[in-house]
Structure 1
Amino acid sequence: MNGDLVVQRPEGLYCPPGDFYIDPWRPVGRAVITHAHADHARVGHGHYLAATPSEGVLRARLGRELNLMTLPYGERITHHGVTVSLHPAGHVLGSAQVRLECGGQVWVASGDYKVAPDPTCAAFEPVRCEVFITESTFGLPIYRWLPDEELFADMNAWWAANAAAGRASVLACYSFGKAQRILAGVDPAIGPIVVHGAVEPLNRAYREAGVALPPTALVTDIPDKASLRRALVLCPPSATASTWLRRFGDSSVAFASGWMQLRGARRRGGYDRGFVLSDHADWPGLHRAIAATGASRVIVTHGSVPVMVRHLTEQGLRAEAFATEYGDDRIEADLEPPAA
């Protein structure tokens, strides 16, 4: 052991004294999972540990028979001398930062996180540590999110204008996390809300976890097809290029993603509108989160890694990078808009 509580291995990020991995991308015996997005939670591990609120979405995605142990936020367990606790990351339902304490050291692996408020998941909780492992998905100064009230006012106005014109409002978004955040923010009085079959099982898991969402329906469950002309339709980006979309007739198609901050992203994707909405921290949010930990050493895992490492080094921190496979599923991890 080199003294570090987390090191790189071909299977993923490994805790040597505890003999377990954090979000490994190859099958391992013991995995601590920060959240249920597919680049962080994969099938094939022998035993899983995750935050209690994530159980429903993990089982919906990885299988009901998953060998899963859950831990309430803030509760501590000790494994091979390493004290482990999970703390809210604010990313999606059940997302967690992993705090490790051993031999007088405290490390925190954040997974993915968001510091903006979100009614569909527990708010990000800064955790003091000496070493902080951070993402940098949107780790460039250009990325700065609008307040939710402005964003959803714009989204509701777009939906209402389409409904008045008898045109369906199709909004492409990731099925887990993004769709539910949109549902919690829009005005359901404008019209019916229809969701793709990939979205509804996740809605069910959120509702079972106590998250309030407006009523949603599959297109096959709508008896009055004329009402589809006033509907908001949430679907994965891939569905916008499929025959499924034809069921709604005339429609306006938009995409919700942090990548809509980039000029040309909406045009390249062929969308009528783009809404800048992300489940990741923006540039100011990343730096507020890092500063709040008090860490003197920061390890960057994925995203705009060189920029983030250079900036943190200029701020007087010891900054470096881990090579990971997070974000390989580009659309699912909200890492770039779909190709045209």
Structure 2
Amino acid sequence: MPKKPLLEFTDRGIYCAQGKFYIDPWKSVDDAVITHAHADHAYFGHKQYLAHHLSREVMLYRLGEINLRTIEYGETVNKNGVQISMYPAGHVIGSAQIRVEYKGEVWVVSGDYKTEDDGISTPFEPVKCHHFISECTFGMPVYTWKPQAQIFADVNNWWRTNLQNGVATIVVGYSLGKAQRILQNLDLDNGKVYTHGVIENTNEALRRNGVILNPTERITFDSSKEEVRKGIILAPPSSVGTPWMRKFAPYSFGYCSGWMAIRGAKRRRAADRGIVLSDHADWNGLVSAIDATGCESVYLTHGYTASFSRYLNEIGFDAHEVHTLYGGEEEDAEASPQPSPEEREPKADMNDNASEVLSFGEDLGEATKEELS
């Protein structure tokens, strides 16, 4: 009789029967281990959660008063003889790869990851394992990212040019991950950074967690339009085309996404500037990360799973395509006709208190009454 794998792919998520826990489950379970706080990996409704320490306040902001335990990178938790530990994924602040070991067998679940050090997330760290469960959001050779320093040199030059021309600058990016990465790489000699409430709510949660971010100012109903236009505005995808954004006209807005590498993506987003910036590994990053694990087999959960698994098999890996519900965040919006979580209506929790608890989309916070006016 064949040996049962330590981790299995089920209709609820990745399951460890020996340890009786799930990793990033998308249906309610008793025991959930979470790689990071994005909405397609951290769902509301589990009895208990385990995540990295730096995900704590964002998860509480998004999911409410959940039963949450947090640990540090390299710390070990034992569940029924199964050793669980977390290692940096480099995706966003607090993101982790989950290492699972039982009787010498080691599996690693990557969650989402990138291999370039962004200066704000703990840098990706390869973890040796027998079996590696990996994303491949950008698993095609066309996706090769420029160095971050070059991208932000262009962004800061564009901002300066807009200031000289009397045009406001708006940068659009996902509220957890890209927003903080952008913030930390702006040239603040140009001016102040103003934030949409959705992004500032996330910034405040991270600051409560001890994360040091550059200064920002929340845009409210009382904010001076002329003063805001002298700085730079960070906004989520949900703000594009809304009265909230239009009130800062004339403006130039840039959309940050890995999908901006695709011809036509900028036009579909109606952006003035497509900024190719992703919090996922590019083609070279994926291949190098998988190779660094020394794994015997690799399982691809979301992205270009079919073509990337064929490539890996051709170069000597034992690669398998699996189907999950991951990949629903903004990065995947251009690859699917479905709206991204930030563009969906916020879904209420069991108490129907959408202004306080985020279960899938983005909590609008103060934007509901003030910022969308």
What is the TM-score of this pair, normalised by structure 2?
Answer: 0.87
Task: Report the Cα distance in structure 2 between the residues aligned to 1:100 and 1:136, rounded to whole angstroms.
Answer: 21
Shift of 1:2: 4.4
Secondary structure (helix, strand or coil) at the match of 1:254 reads: strand
Match of 2:366 in 1: none
Match of 1:40 in 2: 41
Task: Report the Cα distance in structure 2 between the residues aligned to 1:103 and 1:214, rounded to whole angstroms.
Answer: 45
1:186 and 2:183 matched: no
Conserved? CA contact 1:18–1:79, under 8 Å: yes
Unaligned 5+ residue runs, structure 2? 341-373
Size of the aligned set, in residue pairs, is 336
Counterpart AA for 2:165: A
Task: Report the Cα distance in structure 2 between the residues aligned to 1:213 and 1:193, rounded to whole angstroms.
Answer: 11
Counterpart AA for 1:61: R
Match of 2:11 in 1: 10
Match of 1:24 in 2: 25
Secondary structure (helix, strand or coil) at the match of 1:287 reads: helix
1:62 and 2:68 matched: no
Match of 1:211 in 2: 211
Shift of 1:223: 5.1
Secondary structure (helix, strand or coil) at the match of 1:336 reads: helix
Shift of 1:163: 1.1
1:335 and 2:337 matched: no
Task: Report the Cα distance in structure 2 between the residues aligned to 1:78 and 1:237, rounded to whole angstroms.
Answer: 40
Match of 1:254 in 2: 254
Conserved? CA contact 1:23–1:41, under 8 Å: yes
Conserved? CA contact 2:54–2:206, under 8 Å: no
Shift of 1:230: 2.1
Task: Report the Cα distance in structure 1 between the residues aligned to 2:6 and 2:39, rounded to whole angstroms.
Answer: 25
Secondary structure (helix, strand or coil) at the match of 1:200 reads: helix
Shift of 1:85: 0.5
Unaligned 5+ residue runs, structure 1? none
1:1-340 alignment to 2 at 5 Å? Answer: 2-63=3-64, 65-220=65-220, 224-328=224-328, 330-331=329-330, 334-337=331-334
Which stretch of structure 1 is more off in the superposition, 81-90 or 2-11?
A: 2-11
Shift of 1:159: 0.8
Matched-pair identity in %: 48
Which stretch of structure 1 is more off in the superposition, 75-84 or 221-230?
A: 221-230
Conserved? CA contact 1:164–1:230, under 8 Å: no
Task: Report the Cα distance in structure 2 between the residues aligned to 1:223 and 1:114, rounded to whole angstroms.
Answer: 36
Task: Report the Cα distance in structure 2 between the residues aligned to 1:129 and 1:92, rounded to whole angstroms.
Answer: 23
Shift of 1:246: 2.5
Summarize the Cα distance change of 1:97–1:223 in structure 2 as closer, same or farther, 3 Å threshold: closer
Counterpart AA for 1:135: E
Task: Report the Cα distance in structure 2 between the residues aligned to 1:150 and 1:248, rounded to whole angstroms.
Answer: 28
Counterpart AA for 1:38: A
Which stretch of structure 1 is more off in the superposition, 21-30 or 221-230?
A: 221-230
